[in-house]
Structure 1
Amino acid sequence: MFNIEEELKKLPSQPGVYIMHDSKDEIIYVGKAISLKNRVRQYFQSSRNKTAKIEQMVSRIARFEYIITDSELEALVLECNLIKEHRPRYNTMLKDDKSYPYIKVTVNEEFPRVLFAREMKKDKNKYFGPYTSAGAVKDTIDLIHKIYRIRTCNRNLPKDIGKDRPCLNYHIKQCDAPCQGYISREEYAKSIGQALDFLNGQYGPVIKSLEQKMQAASDELDFEKAIEYRELLNSVKQIAQKQKITSSSMEDRDIIAMAKDEKDAVVQVFFVRDGRLIGREHFHVTVATAEDSKQILTSFVKQFYAGTPFVPRELWVQTELEDSGVISEWLSAKRGQKVRITVPQKGQKERLVELAEKNAALVLSQDKEKIKREELRTRGAMNQVGEWLGLTGIRRIEAFDISNTSGIESVGSMIVYEDGKPKRNDYRKFKIKWVKGPNDYASMKEVLTRRFSHGLEEADLLKEKGMDESFGSFTRFPDLIMMDGGKGQVNVALEVLNELKLSIPVCGMVKDDNHRTRGLYYQNVEIPIDKHSEGFRLITRIQDEAHRFAIEYHRSLRNKGQVKSILDDISGIGPTRRKALMRQFKSIEAVKEATLEELAGAPGMNRQAAQSVYDFFH
């Protein structure tokens, strides 16, 4: 048993990192300290200065552990790594930072490539980013391939040189074909060096080179080539036009500012290289109400520069950072030379920081509007459906559908919407086992019985083992079951729930002549719905998604040859005749209604086979 009071007495006075765990042993906070003894004890001492976030966190701490380091700098590096790995809930976090793309240059290869990457790995390659626009990253990579003729293939060079013919890129002059030995390693390395300069914002050399090539092609009356160079030149200039001279000192710096509200913050970063503003990115941060700009910016700087390969000579920040000195020391070690962190107080420097802050505020306000629209489309739509049915607290809807095309055996699907959004990890597929032939009601009864019986059995098993029901894959039951049909389908669901002694609301989607939902069937009443409402749009999405998921599963089984037609049970009817009958009559119903003569007249059929089919259905 972990005794917090006893463990506090054992804390050393050395620098290090402390790690807080909750009752489930999940890491909820990671921090660093010059003195572990002083810092960790502060959390458990009564103080009016504690924020609501800290008090809530402390109330959840079940145990803590710590790692001592030789210096505060080592503690900072370790803290950054642990936060990135565990993403504790009480640390200020970059939202979805793994989704921001990078440009990766595989300098550990003898003939490097320039690639799109979703995360930065410790693989000795060079990374640029993170960026927020995947499209812009792909466009930049494409431009680099065209200008510097960098290979795009996955061949293992030089081992695979000469094994295959050169690809299309060589023939359209977008690759120098190192795979054929047409370019030396030294010459290729020069191209990679130029590409790296380009990624670092040094556009001058490539602009000058393209202008010279364009002029030379024009002088030689090779206008097609001149146009090609002009288009490349325009692409580079388009990037350059986004830049603005910010300093005559021609230094590299990042300008960082933020805007926040009660729950969220946006940090804006301007990237200045060689005195030019080469780009800007904004990053979303989850914050606690009581956190101030200093805490948020400090957390951002530590997380951002822990994951980006390039560190500029200067950081201009909106407000002074916590631990500014040790962060500067850490960044200096990463860069290999002194990195200054300053808070500009006047002149153009201050105006640029203010500009970054205004941009952050603009993004935050735009996002709030976007979030409001999304809330209306998702949670708002769920609430509207609940109002129509007289239900409250609907968060999870499960919808079911059956697919049996042209007499091929049935499959069932279960889709899940939570808070108005599809929760695809909870989708389930059912291959009908108990029902022979197409029978939607019987098939639906099987699907529902299997789904909820499995959930009850799984819950009992977890309970016996002393485990929480949340660990089960079927134990989470819906707040509402939505059937892709009216009274008949609803009654099937209610019958299954009654047999299993479950009480879950069930509604059905009543269709019009075009098979579109016109209302909801609930408690023996058809409830009309507004076709222009978000609730109606949500129901339509659920209906379409359930149908799509069932059809896709059915199609995948057909492609694998794992589904069976009712015709397969007829003596003398194999795959060839089955296909011929379906091509001729289009459906099982038409085969049933066909005369003996019509069956015998189908391609590939004879009198004996036709008689077998006729007798089977009559």
Structure 2
Amino acid sequence: MANPATYRPAPGEIPTDPGVYRFRDEHGRIIYVGKAKNLRSRLNSYFANPATLLPKTHAMVHHAASVQWTIVGSELEALQLEYTWIKEFAPRYNLAFRDDKTYPYLAVSMSEKFPRVQVMRGERRKGTRYFGPYTAGAIRETMDTLLRVFPVRSCSVGVLRRAERSGRPCLLGYIDKCAAPCVGRISVEEHKDLAQDFCDFMGGEAKRFISTLEKKMAAAVAELDYEQAARLRDDIIALKKVFERNAVVLTEDTNADIFAVEQDELEAAVQVFYVRGGRIRGQRGWVVEKVEDATDAQLWEHLMQQVYGGEDAEQGAIPRQILVPELPTNHEELAQWLAGLRQGKVSIKVPQRGEKAALMDTVQANARQAMILHKSRRAGDLTTRSLALQELQEALELPMPLLRIECYDISHVQGTNVVASMVVVEDGLAKKSEYRKFAINGDAAIDDTASMYDVITRRFRNYLAEKELRAQAVGTSGEIAAGLERHDGGAGALVHAGGLALDVVADPGGEIDEMAAQTPKSKFAYPPNLVVVDGGVPQVNAASRALADLGITDVAVVGLAKRLEEVWVPESDFPVILPRSSEGLYLLQRIRDEAHRFAITFHRAKRGKAMTASILDTVPGLGAAKQKTLLAHFGSLKKVRAASLEELGQAKGIGPVLAQAIHNTVAAQEKEQPQAPAVNMTTGEILD
């Protein structure tokens, strides 16, 4: 771990202006982004006595290897720049949200051609409106009730396509719980309007729809159309049933989000109630990791940025009022920023008395309960992961914590279709976005050790190349710092050097902030602390040799042998034996099994493609499109083999040269194939 004193700025070097600061690790990765009204005062607090720092802050400053800052003109600019960089670089020590996915939501996929109403859990999708959460029973009843009034499509994609092909709607279309846009009963635009009405009703405009239906019912009665009046009456009852599920808690013109928090030294459980039209329209919860020793006011400021500035924030999701237990720092600038996003006035207030304060107490009780529930669930999970990582570090005698582990596995069938997998675990959790797969050919596919050497070499050679590109970009920015060609006349400039465009920001001392350099994003991320290979001594030595040949000495290598689950280290005659009940051994087994699963999946896909290969694939110049045209012309590969040069040339897109290549390839294959001997089917005797 780094000593903060080694990279602490010199006294007086940090300015007292407002700005944004970044902490980086030894690989140049941004691990924390923050803003400050006074940069000197804020940054000096990180280099105070380590005993006074919170555990998360202590871990961050010791993980970092450098700190940089950028001066801006105002606190509002700092707020906007901080948010932009947090979304761009996703620093691991900034507030990390773990969404409460316990309850289902009623979702309307407005981005589809035919919007679909469905019950959804998990991460939110762009272009989809969400309402809830509900209990499992209530959401089905609500959806079933509303579909009789708003018959929006609720079927899957497969059912929709089948109905479009057959020209017959599904069962819901026959019982009038779907408007059946798939068979043209209503147009695409009419169906979208119907879905929008569904969203408007769920968003708090229930009285408008109920009033409209009541007028239609009265008109039907006046015309003595009692059947239509009865149907409208049933629709009104259905809408009122859904509408009355939420009790009126505030005046009908109240649109507000009400927040509360329950916290300890390390984490905070946040709850929010969404009030629209005076009714509670939804509830959501988060658990936030507190990274630094911040006040409650600073915590609320960060939360506002995350909640209303995230990618899943919907259009119109910001209400007129945001009620919090304590005003965020710089709440005036924050309200101004939110007003720009909403395109309307936004007020941030602390309710003091009355109905809003009473509802705040209810939200606080929910936050308290969520914190209790989170701690009870977290006790086993987080403790187990931390224990496993600590056991591995101690057993392998490694100097650094195992923040990132990569595991590699080779998969093949008797030396054919050789592939490899790389799975990544960070902080004991799988990071599937950084999984990689490798196809292995040539001499590298001779055996497992050659394959392992090839894979490790390719992975870390890419890392070194990307590291060199970043270094060149930083070097270029430093060389051109004295001769900037400014296009905006302000603090920022667009610099052109050798074809590389750098969006730079002035930092202390007049240097160039290389963080903003628009360099290509890394494909292989950052090097792990530990490489795990599936195998014993040969595979471990091959991986270790590959790293040594590349000059990489700070990455540990171990192998997990399947037979006795022994942990092998390079150049050792004896394995490291972990107890069978060891959490560290369980973690290695889970990583190894995940790498094996990922490799097998890729191997099967590659083998499947190889099994469907055709002789036409070997014809030079004959691509997939022309193969399809050729087979469509002749009807089968057998007829292609029997065709003459003139007949081949008559196919669309097949010229004389390509026809000759096809004829030569097919004829060569027929000569190589041995002729099967004739056999007497009665006696089994081979005939001459």
| Shared fold per TM-score greater than 0.5 | yes
The whole-number CA distance in structure 1 between the counterparts of 2:298 and 2:91 is 15
The whole-number CA distance in structure 1 between the counterparts of 2:324 and 2:387 is 39
SS at structure 2 position matched to 1:310 = coil
Aligned to 2:440: 431
1:520 counterpart = 2:527 = no
Select which of 198, 202, 209 maps to 2:201. 198
- TM-score w.r.t. the length of structure 2 is 0.56
Q: CA deviation at 1:101?
A: 8.8
The whole-number CA distance in structure 2 between the counterparts of 1:80 and 1:499 is 40
The whole-number CA distance in structure 1 between the counterparts of 2:398 and 2:406 is 15
The whole-number CA distance in structure 2 between the counterparts of 1:297 and 1:409 is 54
1:352 counterpart = 2:359 = yes
Aligned to 1:149: 151
Aligned to 2:530: 479
Q: Contact 2:270/2:288 (CA < 8 Å) preserved in 1?
A: yes
Correspondence 1:108-507 to 2 at 5 A: 128=129, 147-151=149-153, 165=167, 167-168=169-170, 170-171=173-174, 173-178=176-181, 182-183=185-186, 191-192=194-195, 194-202=197-205, 241=245, 243-247=246-250, 251-306=254-309, 307-308=313-314, 309-325=316-332, 327=334, 340-346=347-353, 348-385=355-392, 393-394=401-402, 396-405=404-413, 408-424=416-432, 425-434=434-443, 443-454=447-458, 457=461, 467=471, 473=524, 476=527, 479=530, 481-484=532-535, 489-494=536-541, 497=544, 501=548, 504-507=556-559
Correspondence 1:37-56 to 2 at 5 A: none
Q: After superposition, what is the alpha-carbon deviation per residue over 1:9-55, rounded to whole angstroms, capped at 9, x for unaligned? A: 9x8xxxxx85446686969657597xxxxx66876899999997799
The whole-number CA distance in structure 1 between the counterparts of 2:411 and 2:30 is 43
SS at structure 2 position matched to 1:289 = coil
Distance 1:509 1:376, change over 3 A: farther
Aligned to 2:649: none
Q: CA deviation at 1:387?
A: 5.5
Q: Contact 2:411/2:419 (CA < 8 Å) preserved in 1?
A: yes
Aligned to 2:586: 537
The whole-number CA distance in structure 2 between the counterparts of 1:193 and 1:495 is 61
Distance 1:79 1:430, change over 3 A: closer
SS at structure 2 position matched to 1:434 = helix
Match for 2:151: what amino acid? R
Distance 1:173 1:256, change over 3 A: same
Q: CA deviation at 1:282?
A: 1.3
The whole-number CA distance in structure 1 between the counterparts of 2:392 and 2:22 is 40
Distance 1:405 1:252, change over 3 A: same
Aligned to 1:598: none
SS at structure 2 position matched to 1:356 = helix
Q: After superposition, what is the alpha-carbon deviation per residue over 1:198-232, rounded to whole angstroms, capped at 9, x for unaligned? A: 2214556889999999xx9xx99xxxx99x999x9
Distance 1:130 1:30, change over 3 A: farther
Match for 1:520: what amino acid? E
The whole-number CA distance in structure 2 between the counterparts of 1:344 and 1:88 is 33
Aligned to 2:632: none
Distance 1:44 1:459, change over 3 A: closer
The whole-number CA distance in structure 2 between the counterparts of 1:325 and 1:500 is 54
Q: CA deviation at 1:537?
A: 3.4
The whole-number CA distance in structure 1 between the counterparts of 2:205 and 2:580 is 56
Aligned to 2:608: 559
Select which of 43, 64, 81 maps to 2:70. 64
The whole-number CA distance in structure 2 between the counterparts of 1:129 and 1:372 is 31
SS at structure 2 position matched to 1:378 = helix
Q: Contact 2:133/2:283 (CA < 8 Å) preserved in 1?
A: no
Aligned to 1:82: 84
Match for 2:329: what amino acid? E
Distance 1:320 1:528, change over 3 A: closer
Distance 1:110 1:413, change over 3 A: closer
Q: After superposition, what is the alpha-carbon deviation per residue over 1:234-263, rounded to whole angstroms, capped at 9, x for unaligned? A: 9x958954x344236663332211122233
Distance 1:534 1:249, change over 3 A: same
SS at structure 1 position matched to 2:282 = strand
Match for 1:481: what amino acid? V
Distance 1:240 1:482, change over 3 A: farther
Q: Contact 1:207/1:237 (CA < 8 Å) preserved in 2?
A: no
The whole-number CA distance in structure 2 between the counterparts of 1:284 and 1:65 is 32
Distance 1:379 1:451, change over 3 A: farther
Aligned to 2:621: none
Q: Contact 2:258/2:274 (CA < 8 Å) preserved in 1?
A: yes
SS at structure 2 position matched to 1:344 = coil
Distance 1:210 1:445, change over 3 A: farther
Q: After superposition, what is the alpha-carbon deviation per residue over 1:301-327, rounded to whole angstroms, capped at 9, x for unaligned? A: 354344342344443321233344555
The whole-number CA distance in structure 1 between the counterparts of 2:123 and 2:531 is 38
The whole-number CA distance in structure 2 between the counterparts of 1:252 and 1:47 is 40
Distance 1:531 1:351, change over 3 A: farther
Q: Contact 2:438/2:455 (CA < 8 Å) preserved in 1?
A: no
Q: After superposition, what is the alpha-carbon deviation per residue over 1:358-415, rounded to whole angstroms, capped at 9, x for unaligned? A: 3223323332343332234434234345566666755555544443337745444444
Q: CA deviation at 1:340?
A: 5.0
Distance 1:244 1:390, change over 3 A: same
The whole-number CA distance in structure 1 between the counterparts of 2:273 and 2:363 is 7
Q: After superposition, what is the alpha-carbon deviation per residue over 1:441-474, rounded to whole angstroms, capped at 9, x for unaligned? A: x621112221344466557656776839x96849
Q: Which blocks of at least 5 consecutive residues in structure 1 are unaligned?
A: 12-16, 34-38, 156-161, 437-441, 512-517, 565-575, 577-603, 610-618
Q: Contact 1:271/1:277 (CA < 8 Å) preserved in 2?
A: yes
Match for 1:490: what amino acid? V
The whole-number CA distance in structure 1 between the counterparts of 2:403 and 2:32 is 26
Match for 1:373: what amino acid? G
The whole-number CA distance in structure 1 between the counterparts of 2:678 and 2:527 is 54
- Using the TM superposition, name which of 303-312 and 55-64 deviates more: 55-64
Q: Contact 2:418/2:440 (CA < 8 Å) preserved in 1?
A: yes
Match for 1:448: what amino acid? M
The whole-number CA distance in structure 2 between the counterparts of 1:474 and 1:337 is 41
Q: Contact 2:300/2:328 (CA < 8 Å) preserved in 1?
A: yes
SS at structure 2 position matched to 1:467 = helix
SS at structure 2 position matched to 1:358 = helix
Q: Which blocks of at least 5 consecutive residues in structure 2 are unaligned?
A: 1-9, 158-163, 473-520, 614-637, 639-673, 680-688
The whole-number CA distance in structure 2 between the counterparts of 1:128 and 1:80 is 28
